[in-house]
Amino acid sequence: MAAAHCVCPGRRPWLNDEKEDCTERLYALQRGASNIYFSIIRSALSIPPWSNPLQAEIASYYKLFAGQLTEDALRQVIQSLFPQHPIERVMECVARLSKLNTEKPSIRREEYELLDADQHPISIYFDARKQAMLPRTQKFLSGLVSIPRLREVRTLIGFSRIDAPEMDPTMEVFNEESGFAVTTAPISAKQLDWLPAVENLGEGVFLRLNSKRLENWESHDTVKRRASNLLNAYSSWRQKRGLQALKSQRPRLILLHTLAHMLMRQMSLDCGYSSASLRERIYSDESMAGLLIFTSTPDSDGSLGGLVRQVKLVKNPDGSERDNFGRLLTDVVELARTCSSDPLCREHDPRRTERLNGAACHACAMVSETSCEFGNRLLDRGMVVSLPNEARTGYLDYDE
């Protein structure tokens, strides 16, 4: 084939063949190849006040309220559109919507602050209830919340080919910035004020780690060393592929991520859902240390109550209380301490193999790709429990 024929002609048939200037080299792929299309998805939970019916109705008039209206004109518009609602309440919703023009909120932080609050407002798509914990569970957690009802909105923002979008956890997941290291193909030739999305309904469990214990655990040199080995290996892997180096992360990221996986694997044995139907949502930075495990399906099959039952205290006939979640943590300790692939799994060094996990493999810590936010990377059982013949690095047992 002539060299000229190996240059991309710039055709974009998914945009009605609108062409662009392109000098990239052509790649031949089979029609059914797995790397011919990688969707790029953003997701968010519907939480108050955004999930309140009035706020949602006002959002449908976004273009109208985004215009430059005087206060008198704005009040007249509100009275004509929402005569059944108090004008001050509508004005509050409009102000919240207008604020998005100048400030970009952190979706993760808003979710975390609401889930971690002492009181949880209830809306049509959200219901959260703080759960009591026995002392042995309080040793590890500062907060435990059951969520009988939630809605996740998943939006397609574009796609890529050849190379999958590689996420920097600090950029993409926690700051909602463009952390993708590949060129994103647009889904429309025009600038849209909407994106295709799907609403998934389900239930979930949120937990926040004990702040005092977490800070004490992170201060141990053995914990810092083990975490930095994995984080540095991942950052080096990114740089070798021309990606931005990983921003500084604390050991809690690996702990939260691995703990979420271990909980999903153990919960699936008791809650009635398969592990592939559970998903994780990690909240980790200097001020956040929590995780959400939830079901998310387009119908009501994901809201049967199996998850929320995992965190409730149950009264025994003799008047004592059975701590379901405490038992679950005990099972997680046993699950994480050994692996059928040990000692290979336990002694794995990511600095030598560039396999971007510590002591983690498909036999012990990995889950379905659709359940994991990080593509089954940044996992290490040694952050959850101390492994045999290794230093005391496990959050759940380091002080034993």
Residue 29: what pLDDT? 83
Residue 167: what pLDDT? 61
Q: How far is CA 142 from the centre of its chain?
A: 20
Domain ranges of the chain: 125-241+249-383
Paired residues of 201 in beta bridges: 151, 297
Residue 365: what pLDDT? 92
Per 3-state DSSP, the chain is made up of helix, strand and coil in percentages (nearest 5) of 35, 20, 45
**Exposed e or buried b per residue across 116-129, where buried means at least 16 C-beta atoms within 10 angstroms of its C-beta:** beeebeebebbbbe
At residue 298, the 3 state secondary structure works out as coil
Residue 259: what pLDDT? 96
Residue-wise pLDDT tens digits, 88-125: 888 888 888 777 777 777 888 889 999 998 888 888 88
Residue 49: what pLDDT? 84
Task: Answer for the pair 260, 371: CB distance below 8 angstroms, yes or no.
Answer: no
Residue-wise pLDDT tens digits, 16-46: 777 788 888 887 888 888 888 888 888 889 8
Paired residues of 284 in beta bridges: 289
Q: How far is CA 196 from the centre of its chain?
A: 20
| pLDDT-flagged residues of the chain (< 50) | 1-4, 172-180
Q: Residues with Cβ < 8 Å from 84, sequence gap 6 or more?
A: none
Entry pTM: 0.86
Residue 240: what pLDDT? 78
Q: Residues with Cβ < 8 Å from 303, sequence gap 6 or more?
A: 148, 149, 201, 202, 203, 295
Q: What is the mean pLDDT of the chain?
A: 83
